[in-house]
Amino acid sequence: MKLTIEAHHESLPLAQEFAISRGAKSQADVVVVSVTNGEYTGWGESVPYARYGQSIEDTLKKIQCARSAIKHIDDHRRLNATLPACAARNALDCALWDLKAKIESQPVAKLIGLQEIKSCVTAQTVSVGSTQKMCQDAKAFSKTELIKIKLDPEDVIDKVTAISEVCPDSHFIIDANEGWTMPLLEQVAPALARLNVALIEQPLPAGEDDALATYQCPVPLCADESCHTTASLKALVGKYQAINIKLDKTGGLTEACSLLKAARHHELDIMVGCMVASSLAMAPAYLLAGSAQFVDLDGPVLVASDRANGFVIENGIMKRPDNLLWGTGR
């Protein structure tokens, strides 16, 4: 079966500026991959992330180099041996799964052995900003069960307190994106525990996790930038209570499933997360939602215009349409 692989860059304007502790952006730069056998075409989308030394140009080059290694729709292991865990591998891996689903007329969930769900609660994101701006943004989520609050080290308790007042029925995930210090975490964690905070995500820079080994945080801690693949998991056990699985970090759905299984073995909670991208990138990750305690896949509402046949997200409820754009086998 001869496969043809193509890849290109797309810039997706965002609904509004998206800011975290490392900076802000107004568009999502993604790579879209297609793999065709001449009759059917599988698709994948990924986000090259500068934090991990990736760029659009480098990702497109990696895809070009990997073409010769992919000769069959089941060449996931060969792909994983050819490329490291990265955005290029993610897009290729997901495109292969979509193509296999279409050829065999079976949804990817059934092919890979994951629970297929129709809907779930997803976090809605409030970007870093002034307390006033963050409260104004949070008002739109007053009926949302779960809100992710992006925070830098400034005015942590004041911001979360103010948001909790406008969203009194919500629970919160605090995402520091490596922007805090250990003294700051120790200072704010007790107060956050009293403010409906369910999880604190990556408070310290990756590589500085050892400081968490002897700290009993009153709020569960979740590894994001510190957790990429199954190989990174052992070093996190005893420091975190949860991990954030993102397909751009695992290098695709295949490794994400392995990481999920390993995390369960270590009795870690699961968050399934995403970079800022469209429903094409969310769809493979959504297959993990049925196995996750936390879902953070609100990319479709962060982009100004999502792709056709994408997810519907209303008041934090993420619904999968029957004609979803990826992985249905149709």
User: Considering only the top CATH level, what class is 4-105?
Assistant: alpha beta
Q: State the pLDDT at residue 24.
A: 78
Q: State the pLDDT at residue 275.
A: 94
C-alpha angle 288-59-22 in degrees, rounded to nearest 5: 70
CB contact burial 186-225 (16+ within 10 A = b; e otherwise): eebbeebeebbbbbbbbbbebeebeebeeeebebbbbbbb
pLDDT (mean) for 215-240: 97
Percentage above 70 pLDDT, the chain: 100
Residue 183 has pLDDT above 80, yes or no: yes
Percentage above 90 pLDDT, the chain: 92
pLDDT tens for each residue of 57-78: 999 999 999 998 898 898 999 9
pLDDT (mean) for 163-189: 96
Residue type, 183: P
CB contact burial 76-110 (16+ within 10 A = b; e otherwise): beebbebbebbbbbbbbbbbbbbbbbbeeeebbbe
Helix (H, G, I), strand (E, B) or coil at 27: strand
Residue 19 has pLDDT above 80, yes or no: no
Band of the pLDDT at 248, cuts 50, 70, 90?
Answer: very high
Residue 1 has pLDDT above 70, yes or no: no
Average pLDDT of the chain to the nearest whole number: 95
pLDDT (mean) for 255-273: 97
Q: State the pLDDT at residue 25.
A: 85
Q: State the pLDDT at residue 20.
A: 83
Q: Considering the entire predicted model, what is its pTM?
A: 0.95
Query: Would 4-105 and 119-319 be classified into the same CATH topology?
Result: no
- Does domain 119-319 sit in CATH 3.40.50.720? no
pLDDT (mean) for 128-152: 95
Residue 236 has pLDDT above 90, yes or no: yes
Residue 21 has pLDDT above 80, yes or no: no
pLDDT tens for each residue of 276-324: 999 999 999 999 999 999 999 999 999 999 999 999 999 999 999 999 9
What is the residue extent of each domain of the chain? 4-105, 119-319
Helix (H, G, I), strand (E, B) or coil at 259: helix
How many helices (H) and strands (E) the chain has is answered by 11, 14
pLDDT (mean) for 74-99: 96
Band of the pLDDT at 144, cuts 50, 70, 90?
Answer: very high
